[in-house]
Chain A
Amino acid sequence: EAGVTQFPSHSVIEKGQTVTLRCDPISGHDNLYWYRRVMGKEIKFLLHFVKESKQDESGMPNNRFLAERTGGTYSTLKVQPAELEDSGVYFCASSLGVVSEAFFGQGTRLTVV
């Protein structure tokens, strides 16, 4: 069974550009989470989807970040326009139920220069 897949694994973009990160959860997992780790800080929650609906987006930093999960399958996280402070590692996780184990992807390392 394939795990959670994220791509790209690395992205280097200039300030002001747009970047889209993608997450493919484990098939059948209704719950999908995005987290971010900024250099030297803890991993922080961004948002939670249940199927295609946003259950909780309280961790989204600002309106430059837009997450979608059309059809309840894969999810995208777009940053537009990117700022220097957006640099970090973005993790995606999925689970069958909210009390089930969350499986994490390997993360996307975003560098904004």
Chain B
Amino acid sequence: SQQGEEDPQALSIQEGENATMNCSYKTSINNLQWYRQNSGRGLVHLILIRSNEREKHSGRLRVTLDTSKKSSSLLITASRAADTASYFCATGFPGSARQLTFGSGTQLTVLP
């Protein structure tokens, strides 16, 4: 299976702390994306990083990509209670007709 693995599966932190989630994948990729899902809702695209990029920022989000280790991390700084959600990484592969393969997800809980 090409599906990525994320760790931790669940993460609980206090408001104001930073949250780091990791994603590992198995084969060569074109790009890696992070999505957020609130309970029972659809997914919201957060950030996309291409395979030739190493780091990307968007607001309080910082994503890194290490293609040699086939891994990525998502850092959310100064977390807020509203950041509570599930976070998924998704990878796009060469020749995959633009399909994405989703990781197992991290459930983040930010306590007020």
User: Do A and B make up one complex?
Assistant: no
Chain B residues at the A interface, C-beta cutoff of 8 Å: none
